[in-house]
């Protein structure tokens, strides 16, 4: 595998990111406008090559791409899967190792870098955005959105869309917005207590219109707990 | 991305397979003995390169490798994930796109090909085999086994370990062996009926010691249905 002939047999590999955030209007995904061909001027999921001389592993590559292209550091990151075939990239047989990132948009000031000329949040309607996307990124976004929505049903994943400190009311609102239905407050709180993944921040309250609400944080950063039945 | 300098930046990509079967003694995985370096003479998950001139996509590559190296065609196949870093392969930055395959061992006559000198079923104890495995294949096998075991709890995945025609008793036995506990027969049958994924084969019965049992088959080949709560 070291002669140039062998190397030409190697597929192209990129790491691409579906970065999700939740705003009052609903779920949004961060798109990057491509500055170079193929698909120059088109919107795409932010992505980049693996730097074999710099990146320790795939997740490190994903974190570097995220910081370089959008200025986002240390979010919740989860591998969605790998998409690969002969035709998805005009340059040749290629594969996209896709991660999804969940962030609280308040936590970051977006900036763009590398070959990206702009970054912007776009609303997701169902499992797609209005814009046509470069490569097979519409398919990849659909898979990432489906993964996120299915995990809302049976895990604590949505908590990663909140800032570090949040109230139980805010957590319930995240589930409700993603599920598109309201949940019974006491059943929801019982489920969250059973999952045992958050803890009150001592002495920290959120002053709301009526009475102050206790603030919570994750017991373990970046972890997700699974329920034994759907919510 | 077309000069040799760029090509040297491309990671090595292989497709590797965790092939599972269930025998009376428990879960087994198919291992291949490597005929070439690195790790010549060691056992590994069967795998191979992507052939950029032949394979249409990743799943096609996985199916070709499975047929070439072990003589297995058309099993249930599911992507487990991709494992990639700078150190897992002495030849350089590499990634393994890993699939798991579930088969009924009666359905195939194993044969080995390519650079594989032998293939053999090995029992899985917990999530590992006795033998040390080449590369990081012990880690990959652990991830694949965890995926399989967790899906037993909330999906119809185990059905793919049975031959095409099976009785409800045989299906329940597969769940029980994978879960390591017995299940209530009527609750199990109710759950399977709700999942609505199998159908009786008209006029086909299995003659057992006591009374003949109806044979069933999948409504849709290679599909998996998820339950709304754990079994």
CA separation for the pair A227, B132 (Å, rounded): 34
CA separation for the pair A156, A133 (Å, rounded): 30
CA separation for the pair A178, A141 (Å, rounded): 16
Q: What confidence score (pLDDT) does residue A3 get?
A: 56
CB contact at 8 A, A120 and A23: no
First to last CA, chain B: 50
Would you call A230 an interface residue with chain B, using a CB distance cutoff of 8 Å? yes
Q: Which residues of B touch A91 (CB under 8 A)?
A: 1-2
With 70 as the cut, is the pLDDT of residue A6 above it? no
Q: Cβ–Cβ of A84/B95 closer than 8 Å?
A: no
CB contact at 8 A, A46 and A34: no
CA separation for the pair A152, A14 (Å, rounded): 27
* Mean pLDDT of all residues belonging to chain A: 91
User: Per residue in B88-143, pLDDT tens?
Assistant: 999 999 999 999 999 998 777 778 888 889 999 999 998 899 999 999 999 999 99
Q: Cβ–Cβ of B58/A1 closer than 8 Å?
A: no
Q: Is A226 exposed, middle or buried (0-12, 13-18, 19+ CB in 10 A)?
A: middle
Torsion-angle region of residue B78: left (phi > 0), alpha (psi -120 to 50) or beta?
beta
With 70 as the cut, is the pLDDT of residue B4 above it? no
Token digits of residue A71: 């200025």
- HEC string of B150-192? HHHHHECHHHHHCCCCECHHHHHHHHHHHHCCCCCHHHHHHHH
Token digits of residue B96: 């393994």
Would you call B84 an interface residue with chain A, using a CB distance cutoff of 8 Å? yes
Q: Is B59 exposed, middle or buried (0-12, 13-18, 19+ CB in 10 A)?
A: middle
Return the percentage of chain A with pLDDT > 90, whole number: 74
With 60 as the cut, is the pLDDT of residue B2 above it? no
Q: Which residues of B touch A9 (CB under 8 A)?
A: 49-53
User: Per residue in B149-167, pLDDT tens?
Assistant: 989 988 999 999 999 999 9
CB contact at 8 A, B225 and B197: yes
Choose among A105, A126, A131: nearest CA to A45: A131
Helix, coil or strand: residue A183: coil
With 90 as the cut, is the pLDDT of residue A210 above it? no
Q: Which residues of B touch A55 (CB under 8 A)?
A: 86, 93
Q: Hey, of B14, B51, B57, which one would you mutate to test binding to chain A, going by the most A CBs within 10 A of its CB?
A: B57
User: Per residue in A150-204, pLDDT tens?
Assistant: 899 889 999 999 999 999 999 999 999 999 999 999 999 999 999 999 999 998 8
Would you call A52 an interface residue with chain B, using a CB distance cutoff of 8 Å? yes
Torsion-angle region of residue A163: left (phi > 0), alpha (psi -120 to 50) or beta?
beta
Would you call B6 an interface residue with chain A, using a CB distance cutoff of 8 Å? no
Q: What confidence score (pLDDT) does residue A1 get?
A: 45
Please tell me which of the candidates B52, B83, B228 has its beta carbon nearest to residue A230. Answer: B228
Q: Cβ–Cβ of A56/B85 closer than 8 Å?
A: yes
Q: Is B209 exposed, middle or buried (0-12, 13-18, 19+ CB in 10 A)?
A: exposed
Q: What confidence score (pLDDT) does residue B206 get?
A: 85
Q: How confident is the model at residue A228 (pLDDT cuts 50, 70, 90)?
A: confident
CA separation for the pair B144, B23 (Å, rounded): 18
CB contact at 8 A, B51 and B23: no
The residue to which tokens 């499992």 are assigned: A127
- The residue in chain B having the minimum alpha-carbon distance to the alpha carbon of residue A88 is B57
B212 versus A98: the higher-pLDDT residue is A98
Q: Hey, of A2, A12, A143, A150, which one would you mutate to test binding to chain B, going by the most B CBs within 10 A of its CB?
A: A12
Q: Cβ–Cβ of B4/A4 closer than 8 Å?
A: yes
- Structural domains of chain B sorted by starting position, each given as residue range(s) with its CATH number in brackets: 4-154 (3.90.79.10), 157-218 (1.10.10.10)
CB contact at 8 A, A79 and A58: yes
Q: What confidence score (pLDDT) does residue B216 get?
A: 97
- In degrees, rounded to 5, the angle at the alpha carbon of residue A65 between the alpha carbons of residues A63 and A66 is 65
Q: Which helix (H) or strand (E) covers residue A177, if one does? A: helix A168-179
CB contact at 8 A, A23 and A113: no
Q: Which residues of A touch B13 (CB under 8 A)?
A: 10-11, 13, 95
A172-186: string of b/e by CB count within 10 Å (b at 16+)?
Answer: bbbbebbeeeeeeee
CB contact at 8 A, A30 and A46: yes
User: Per residue in A82-118, pLDDT tens?
Assistant: 999 999 999 999 999 999 999 997 777 778 888 889 9
Determine the length of chain A.
Answer: 231
Within a 10 A sphere around the Cβ of B154, how many other Cβ atoms? Answer: 19
Q: Which residues of A touch B81 (CB under 8 A)?
A: 79, 81-82
Closest chain B C-alpha to A33 CA, distance in angstroms: 20
User: Per residue in A42-95, pLDDT tens?
Assistant: 999 999 999 999 999 999 999 999 999 888 887 899 999 999 999 999 999 999
User: Per residue in B54-98, pLDDT tens?
Assistant: 999 999 999 999 999 888 887 899 999 999 999 999 999 999 999
Q: Cβ–Cβ of B12/A8 closer than 8 Å?
A: no
Q: What confidence score (pLDDT) does residue B1 get?
A: 45
Please tell me which of the candidates B13, B56, B97 has its beta carbon nearest to residue A10. Answer: B13
CA separation for the pair A174, A125 (Å, rounded): 16
Please tell me the least confidently modeled range out of A134-148, B1-15, B22-36.
B1-15
Torsion-angle region of residue B57: left (phi > 0), alpha (psi -120 to 50) or beta?
beta
Q: Cβ–Cβ of B10/A9 closer than 8 Å?
A: no
Q: How confident is the model at residue B6 (pLDDT cuts 50, 70, 90)?
A: low
């Amino acid at each position: 595998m070291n002669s140039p002939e062998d190397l030409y047999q190697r597929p192209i590999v990129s790491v691409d990111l579906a970065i999700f955030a939740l705003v009052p209007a609903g779920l949004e995904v961060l798109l990057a406008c491509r500055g170079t061909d193929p698909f120059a001027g088109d919107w795409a999921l932010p992505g980049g090559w693996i730097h074999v001389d710099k990146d320790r592993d795939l997740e490190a590559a994903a974190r570097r791409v995220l910081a370089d292209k959008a200025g986002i550091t240390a979010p919740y990151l989860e591998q969605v899967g790998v998409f690969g075939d002969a035709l998805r990239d005009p340059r040749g047989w290629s594969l996209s190792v896709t991660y999804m990132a969940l962030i609280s948009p308040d936590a970051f000031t977006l900036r763009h870098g590398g070959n990206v000329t702009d970054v912007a949040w776009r609303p997701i309607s169902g499992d797609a955005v209005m814009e046509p996307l470069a490569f097979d990124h519409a398919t990849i976004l659909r898979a990432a959105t489906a993964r996120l929505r299915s995990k809302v049903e049976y895990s604590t994943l949505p908590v990663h869309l909140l800032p570090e400190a949040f109230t139980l009311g805010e957590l319930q609102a995240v589930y409700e917005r993603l599920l598109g239905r309201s949940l019974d407050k006491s059943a929801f709180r019982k489920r969250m207590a059973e999952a045992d993944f958050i803890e009150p921040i001592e002495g920290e309250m959120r002053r709301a219109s009526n009475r102050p609400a206790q603030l919570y944080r994750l017991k373990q950063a970046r972890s997700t707990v699974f329920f034994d039945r759907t919510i």
